[in-house]
Structure 1
Amino acid sequence: MSEASSGQWPSGYLGRSATAADTAAVHRLVSAYEHELHGRVTTGAERVTADLGLSGRESSGAAVLVLDRAGDAAAWGRVRGRRATVHVHPGHRGRGLGASLLAWTEARARELGGDRLAQTVADADLAATALLRSGGYAGLVTEWLLEMAMPVEPEVPEPPAGITVRAFRAGDEEAAYRLTEDAFDEWQQRRKSYAEWARHTVGRATFAPAASPVAFAGGRMVGAVLSLDPGAGGRPGAALVPGAPGGDEGYVERVAVRRDQRDRGIARLLLRQTFRAFYLRGKRSCTLWTHSDTGALPLYERLGMTVRRSSTVYVKALVAD
């Protein structure tokens, strides 16, 4: 399906395929949306680059950028597997773009062979919530953005018997990939390829190895926390990113413990290590996302984390046109 000629866009707008070359435009759009809704920007440009770094079958028309008459980005959408992402610039709300993008995501998902489609919407975005519900979507899970305030240096407990901990280092990538994907298989919709996983974790410029502790038992990796420092390119020599979202706080991208090693305090230990590492880098807070399917919220709350905001994952069964 050709976005430019589909006739789905409101008068005065034109859609075209989005690629990694559109990162800056999409990031400005998403930043405007987040600032309007939350009062701060939380998505970095490198996250947009990772989202647009498509490959294989999904690379053709899997993301769309909608432009106004001046050629400025007014909205965008992306379909990956059974998940869709949509943002409308606050200056272009109320003009039918949300409904048009919703129709586009469903049509694109069907073309990719999907039988259902899910989309995450901030609970504060009442208009988007109402649009999805009116379109037949139902709430599936709740997601929470949690915050750990760190006014003083966090204490780190001793490792459990037989467990050793060190910071992530080169050569740990494959083991961390297998560990985290095995853990996430319990609730994620599909297993990621290594290349896709790396784009969102260890391959990001802001990946912070020093704040990403890994745990071992008998020489085998059994736990990992993979973190990002949004205020800097996490590797030595990387330049600071002026005005980067969340530059004053650390961010945990993945937390995983091998199933047979759970309930031993390993996740608590690794997270405490992460919090302390970020504190020593000058951060006074650290955030992470979790959702209701993982059952991890009580763990994070026991660590002292609190909910900053919430979102809901909405899902709809798709039928063939």
Structure 2
Amino acid sequence: MPYLLRPATLADAPAVTDLLNQIDVLEIGRPETDLHTVEADLKNPETDLEQDSWLAFDGDRLVVYGLLWDDSAGERIDVDHYVLPAHQEAGKLVLEAMEARALRKARENGAERAVVHLHLNVRPTLDTALLDKRGWSVVRRYHVLRRAVDAAADRAPRPPAGVRLRPCATEADRVRVHELYQAAFAEHFDFQPRAYRQWLHDMDAEGLDWSLVWIVTADDLGDAGFLLARNDREAMGWIRSIGVLREARGRGLAGLLLRHAFAAFAARGRDTVGLGVDTSNTTGAPQLYARSGMTVHFAVDTWEAVLR
């Protein structure tokens, strides 16, 4: 029986979530995808679902999901691709469609080529021989880390003299976190500058508990860093981003923010906290997380294809 391909709609979010959790079990041993995360992806303002999403069905069963979005307004295009192992042919059909759309999108942006990135578990359900044959290659590796937390052991740290933490309580604070984010991550791999409203969508701000976002301030520097966390993942508390300005690094501010987040999650009854880190990060973040007791949960590779 041939596969049925069609675009996704927001109403498909539960079925997509179920598919992604089936793949989670195969790749990392347990389901860790939440419905609200899938819904946020499908609502991405840089995604036209009619042209930028794909579902493949074997009969009534969803077996492949693909999504494309464009943060760069240039040649850089991002895609997601999920396939059940027994349906690689359907996965190939969706991959081919995504590549063709990525190149059209980049050309609409005025670029001569598309540089496409796809994040996959290091042991994915997708047969990576297909990617190899089509000219894709791994350009980066990320680790998803996790750490157990406990309310008795993880107490809120006392900031050193001249350093203060404040929660992100006002619109002005949110704007300041955005400014700090853009500055702290400007030199990071694959960073795409984002205007404030675009960034709010990236953070899924509508579902964000802003009391889990903090700004760190030093007397001699002013606002110097931030931590953005969220408590809406079923699997664990999640640190979405932590950043410190270049001129403030090496003073223990990131570690202070991290310990504060551990304590906040423990106080809310969480037993595990996770985050993602670029293994080639040069700011010292991987070493900080290791010293803080975080260990590798699983690894993700960034695959890249240059399409002309």
Normalising to structure 2: TM-score of the pair? 0.86
Could you give the per-residue CA deviations for residues 234-257 of structure 1, whole angstroms, max 9, x where no partner exists?
xxxxxxxxxxx31xx211111111
> Greater helix percent: which structure?
2
1:33–1:202 distance in 2 versus 1, CA, 3 Å: closer
Could you give the per-residue CA deviations for residues 44-66 of structure 1, whole angstroms, max 9, x where no partner exists?
11111121113257555111122
Normalising to structure 1: TM-score of the pair? 0.82
* 2:37 counterpart SS class: helix
**Does 2:101 align with 1:108?**
yes
Could you give the per-residue CA deviations for residues 18-75 of structure 1, whole angstroms, max 9, x where no partner exists?
23332222111111111222221222111111211132575551111223332x4221
Gaps of 5+ in 1: 1-10, 232-244
Which piece of structure 1 moves more, 274-283 or 115-124?
A: 115-124
Could you give the per-residue CA deviations for residues 203-232 of structure 1, whole angstroms, max 9, x where no partner exists?
142x2333332212459532111111125x
Which piece of structure 1 moves more, 43-52 or 148-157?
A: 148-157
Could you give the per-residue CA deviations for residues 85-139 of structure 1, whole angstroms, max 9, x where no partner exists?
011135xx24402211221121111011152111111012264333322322111
Distance across 1 between alignment mates of 2:126 and 2:46? 34
How far residue 281 of structure 1 moved from its aligned partner, in angstroms, is: 0.8
**Does 2:302 align with 1:313?**
yes
- Read off the aligned partner of 1:311 and give its amino acid letter: V
* 1:61 counterpart SS class: helix
**Equivalenced residues, count:** 290
**Does 2:291 align with 1:302?**
yes
Residue pair 2:24, 2:32 contacting (<8 A) in 1 also: yes
After superposition, where does 1:223-238 map in structure 2 within 5 Å?
Answer: 223-230=225-232
Residue pair 2:84, 2:126 contacting (<8 A) in 1 also: no
After superposition, where does 1:1-321 map in structure 2 within 5 Å?
Answer: 11-55=1-45, 58=48, 60-70=50-60, 72-81=61-70, 82-89=77-84, 93-113=86-106, 114-125=113-124, 127-151=126-150, 152-171=152-171, 172-187=173-188, 188-201=190-203, 203-205=205-207, 207-217=208-218, 220-230=222-232, 245-246=234-235, 249-295=236-282, 296-319=285-308
* Seq. identity, %: 27
Residue pair 1:30, 1:89 contacting (<8 A) in 2 also: no
Gaps of 5+ in 2: 71-76, 107-112
Residue pair 2:8, 2:49 contacting (<8 A) in 1 also: no
- Read off the aligned partner of 2:302 and give its amino acid letter: V
Residue pair 1:145, 1:289 contacting (<8 A) in 2 also: yes
1:220–1:21 distance in 2 versus 1, CA, 3 Å: farther
1:254–1:300 distance in 2 versus 1, CA, 3 Å: same
Which piece of structure 1 moves more, 176-185 or 301-310?
A: 176-185
Distance across 2 between alignment mates of 1:252 and 1:57? 25
* 1:288 counterpart SS class: strand
How far residue 195 of structure 1 moved from its aligned partner, in angstroms, is: 3.1
CA RMSD in angstroms, aligned pairs only: 2.2
- Read off the aligned partner of 2:132 and give its amino acid letter: R
Residue pair 2:102, 2:116 contacting (<8 A) in 1 also: yes
1:153–1:208 distance in 2 versus 1, CA, 3 Å: farther
Residue pair 1:181, 1:191 contacting (<8 A) in 2 also: yes
